[in-house]
Amino acid sequence: MIDRQRVENGGLILLLALVTIGLALVVSSFASAMLWAALAAVLFQPLYRRLLERWPGRRNLAAAMTLLIITFAVIIPAFIIGSLVIEQASGVYGQMRSGQINFAQYFQQVHNALPDRLQNLLGNAGLGTFERVQLKVSAALSESASMLTQRALAIGANAAAFLLAFGVGLYVTFFLVRDGDELGSKIVRALPLEQSVAERISTGFVTVVRATLKGSGLVALAQGALGAITFWIVGLPAALLWGMLMAIAALLPAIGPAIIWGPVAIYLFAIGAFWQGVVVIASGVIVIGLADNILRPMLVGRDAGIPDWLVLVTTLGGIELLGLSGIVVGPLAGALFITSWQVLTEQRLGGESQLSQNEPTPP
């Protein structure tokens, strides 16, 4: 005999799955804008609560002031810095096409400045000759500059779509800031999980978002700014561009900003700019290197509980899959993966412990 209740429950689940997939397809064009709106709402929720304490009962005013602060403290500076970076990237790309900047020549200068024994080791390495490595790295740098320029042109060509998505993101941010607590509680209650498990996963989600944006993001920007100032002091062209690349590299554990300032220092020594190379190394080791250890505990206070190797892999994979949004989505997926398995392990251990306690003791 067919269980009517089971059939109805199965039909409801199927309907929910179809409706959810349909909604995802409908809003897919604004997925990135809505994602960053949700991240901004999570990050600035404490600010909204403080403003609400100052103006009790005036939720719309507190949310509007929060959105205004986000606009002037984050969005406008980001647009200004982004436009300057894109301008410098376009200039570097144009100089590469005209031959004014030749990465192959720079690598050759570095190669010639190395000791003969080290040159022979590089030539006999299993990865191929130094010239092949030189061409590959030069091609990668050229492709990176070209990609930045193409992205800038694409944004300019699709200005209307960009402005529409940006407006949608701000609009959604307002309501998520204002109603975030209530909406989050409803989502947690609606999850087909035990309440304690759902709340723990929700807490892990918020912790990782804040740790990634407030901690890793601000620390990376600080290191990038220090790198840009250092490159400007030593007279390196397009200092802001290299500082932005350093900020991106700072998001990756075990790699960090040294992947940018290290080769720059080697090149400066190779061309005879000794004091500039010393300044870059001193700034990289003392100033930029210590910024993470000093700023991160002040901004975050605790980690997201993710191993460094998993942060590295998930960040790189997220960037490859989703672009800029993957910087947050990648570590978030890793944190939720770890939290889910920890909850499952604790439940199994708790169940086994309860069974062992219920077993009768032998006489």
State which of 132, 162, 190 marks the end of a domain.
190
Q: Residue 119's pLDDT is what? A: 63
Q: In 103-220, at which residue ranges do the beta strands (DSSP E only) sit?
A: none
CA–chain centroid gap for 276, Å, is 31
Residue 136 belongs to some domain of the structure:
yes
- Taking 50 as the pLDDT cut, the residues of the chain under it are 126-130, 355
Number of domains in the chain: 2
3-state secondary structure of 283: helix
For residue 354, is it within any domain? no
- The answer on 130 and 271 residing in a single domain is no
Q: Distance (Å, rounded) from C-alpha 113 to C-alpha 118?
A: 10
Q: Given this model, what pLDDT does residue 109 score? A: 64
Quick check: 176 and 37 in contact, CB under 8 A?
yes
Q: Are residues 93 and 127 in the same domain?
A: yes
pLDDT of the residue at 298:
65
Q: What is the pLDDT of residue 245?
A: 83
Per DSSP, 324 falls in state G
In a domain, residue 363? The reply is no
Q: Are residues 244 and 171 in the same domain?
A: no
Q: Identify the pLDDT of residue 74.
A: 84
Domain that holds residue 292: 192-346
Flag whether 357 is in a domain: no
Identify whether residues 77 and 198 lie together within a single domain: no
pLDDT value, residue 129: 46
Query: How confident is the model over 50-66, as pLDDT tens digits?
Result: 998 888 888 889 889 99
Judged by phi (left if over 0) then psi (alpha if -120 to 50, else beta), residue 328 lies in: alpha
DSSP 212: I
The answer to whether residues 342 and 357 touch, using CB atoms and an 8 Å cutoff, is no
207 with 155, same domain? no
Cα–Cα distance measured from residue 154 to residue 254, given in angstroms and rounded to the nearest whole number = 33
Domain membership of residue 148 (yes or no) is: yes
Is-above-0.75 flag for pTM? Answer: no
By CB atoms closer than 10 A (0-12, 13-18, 19+), residue 3 is: exposed
- Residues 182, 35 share a domain: yes
CA–CA separation, 220 and 217 (whole Å) = 5
Residue 17 located in a structural domain: no
